[in-house]
Chains A and B, each alone.
Chain A
Amino acid sequence: MKLTLEQVRHVANLARLALSPTEVEAYQQRLSVILEAVESLAEIDTSGVEATSHVHGGVSHLRPDVASNESGTQRALANAPQVSGTSFVIPKVIE
């Protein structure tokens, strides 16, 4: 399928990406080419075929649901762009 410019802007908004008007046109072009290439999937008969979400069912495992703080707060904060005490700082969200 060929995407409209409006669809490209909508998807960019969902993905939280800013596109310049030239980029919107470039993405329209390039994404449409890729989408046309994957369109062949629609022709395959998959009635009664289950979707694979885990390729080898049955071998995964769960651990006990016990909270731990192995990494520690300081390490978790070490790469933050901006911190205050033990919090991440972001622009004000409530006026």
Chain B
Amino acid sequence: MNVLETASALAAGAVSAVELTKASLEAVRAGDATIRSFLRVDERGSMAAAHASDARRAKGQALGPFDGVPVALKDNILTEGLETTAGSKILKGFTPGFDATVTRKLREAGAVIIGKTNLDEFAMGSSTETGAFQKTHNPYDLTRTPGGSSGGSAAAVAARFVTGALGSDTGGSIRQPASFTNTVGLKPTWGRVSRHGVVAYASSLDQVGTFTQTVADAAAMIDVISGVDALDSTSADLPKPNAAATLEHGVKGLTIGLPDEYFVAGLDPEIEQAVRSAAAIYERLGATVRRISLPHTKHALATYYVIACCEASSNLGRYDGVRYGYRAADSKNLRELYVQSRSEGFGDEVKRRIMLGTFALSAGYYDAYYVKAQRVRTLIKRDFEGAFKAGVDVVLCPASPVRPWVIGEKLDDPLAMYLVDVLTLPTNLAGLPAVSVPAGFTSNALPIGAQLIGQAWGEAMLLRVARAFERETKFCERAP
């Protein structure tokens, strides 16, 4: 069952929240020893929430469609009273005293939080291999990565442990793992969802979003978590997307842009073929498909790594061994306490990004790197604005240039690992909403994702276009 089917079954009394939660916990117990998607399962908390949900429903006081639906949260999203580590040794044992706003919203909607999912340390990575505790495996091929950094949430939904999960996307960390696991991964417009209580990586790029089996589920889930929040001044005071209302409106008369720059050397030919087939399907459904140019795309990688690492260097300054998190033993003075706690607490990739960001922000280099990158960011954003102004409703391209690789294959080459995000980074730099939808399988049975990119605040149009493709192809129905 998916989220909406689960909601209907609950509403019809065909199943109880307790039964669903037990089934979810049992599925994790039976299947996660090999997939390793969960860092932590909250058996007591989830069963208590399920009992409370059933009690509400019995009294006719169900909180809405999500009441009693089991979900999972990426472990960089704070959960009051439940350990939250961001996949880092430096936060091992950290038990938040408050919920992230998205956690609170899910609880208020009655959702049952089954547990916390694995990620690359501090969400810095593309394979869910660099977390301090475990590596997650792809349910479609256990020797391969589920992508990252939200690979735990992606794998948990793909394996049907839960019907929906939250992840975060700074440079592709929802869309790329969604494309690797045959799930729908939605990164909303930057500002659509509050970041309060989400462990910060690069604040101007981070955005929380959803993993689901279907587009309709994504539409339902984004309405639960979006909205203005007094605790995040960058959250937008705008109405919820309400994509459900127009989801089945089809694509007749719409214009879909295929950016030349996203179909370049190095793109897996089977992925290219799948995305071109998607374009043909859209044409058959009555949309106009046309080539467009986003000329600054080739600079997105450099722009992203400068901006993201600078912001990371600044954000991760808070881990000093004083107020929370890991503290090194036997430091002789305050300086040594900082240095030893950070050096022992952070992993290699995190240190590498802190070092790069600290360098780029240091005296004499700030203008040449950070300010320059922010100017190029403006050009990347203008590329998209130009396409939309010229009549494009939604952009269609691959989510990842490569198929899921064998675990460990890219770990020794950071630059090769960074390159796999080249088709998702521009959207974060431009702050736009984007979704990866199941678009078929490679000849070796690995999932392929098509990425759709919408206008700012245009989640409803984006999901409408995604739904038209899903209705036609039904790739989402193929389980691992």
Which residues of A line the B interface, CB within 8 A?
A: 3, 7-8, 10-12, 14-19, 27, 30-31, 33-35, 37-42, 44, 46, 49-56, 59-63, 70-72, 75-76, 78-82, 88, 90-93
- 14 additional A-B pairs beyond A17-B351, A60-B234, beta carbons within 8 Å, are A8-B355, A14-B362, A27-B352, A41-B372, A50-B375, A53-B374, A54-B204, A60-B191, A60-B233, A63-B230, A70-B98, A78-B97, A81-B325, A93-B334
Bound CA–CA A51/B324 (angstroms): 35
Complex contacts, A14 vs chain B, CB 8 Å: 358, 362
Complex contacts, A75 vs chain B, CB 8 Å: 97-98
Complex contacts, A90 vs chain B, CB 8 Å: 322, 334, 337
Q: Are A53 and B355 in contact (CB under 8 A)?
A: no
Contact of B431 among A30, A33, A51, A56 (CB under 8 A): A56
Interface flags for B211-242 (1: CB within 8 Å of A; 0: not) read 00000000000000000101001111110000
Q: Are B94 and A79 in contact (CB under 8 A)?
A: yes
How many residues from B make CB contacts under 8 Å with A? 74
Bound CA–CA A80/B372 (angstroms): 39
Q: Are A17 and B191 in contact (CB under 8 A)?
A: no
Bound CA–CA A59/B296 (angstroms): 26
Complex contacts, A17 vs chain B, CB 8 Å: 339, 342-343, 346, 351, 354-355
B22-30, B155-163, B301-309, B398-406: which one contacts chain A?
B301-309
Q: Are B325 and A16 in contact (CB under 8 A)?
A: no
Bound CA–CA A32/B293 (angstroms): 31
Q: Are A91 and B431 in contact (CB under 8 A)?
A: no
Q: Are B189 and A31 in contact (CB under 8 A)?
A: no
- For the residues of A in contact with B, the DSSP-based class is loop
Query: Which residues in chain B, 383-424, are within 8 Å of chain A measured between CB atoms?
Result: 414-415, 418
B411 vs chain A, min Cβ distance (A)? 13
Q: Are A53 and B204 in contact (CB under 8 A)?
A: yes
- Give the 9 A-B residue pairs with the shortest CB-CB distance, closest first: A55-B431, A75-B97, A51-B374, A79-B324, A81-B327, A46-B375, A38-B302, A59-B236, A15-B358
Bound CA–CA A19/B344 (angstroms): 11
Bound CA–CA A42/B372 (angstroms): 8
Q: Are A34 and B368 in contact (CB under 8 A)?
A: no
Bound CA–CA A69/B83 (angstroms): 22
The 25 sampled A-B contact pairs (Cβ below 8 Å) are A8-B355, A15-B354, A15-B358, A17-B342, A34-B305, A35-B356, A37-B415, A38-B302, A41-B299, A42-B372, A46-B375, A50-B378, A52-B381, A55-B204, A55-B377, A55-B431, A56-B189, A60-B233, A60-B235, A61-B235, A75-B97, A79-B97, A81-B322, A81-B326, A91-B336
Contact of B191 among A56, A88, A92 (CB under 8 A): A56
Complex contacts, B44 vs chain A, CB 8 Å: none
Bound CA–CA A35/B236 (angstroms): 35
Q: Known: A60-B236, A75-B97. Contact between A38 and B415, CB under 8 A?
A: no
Q: Is B332 an interface residue (CB 8 A)?
A: yes
Q: Is B127 an interface residue (CB 8 A)?
A: no
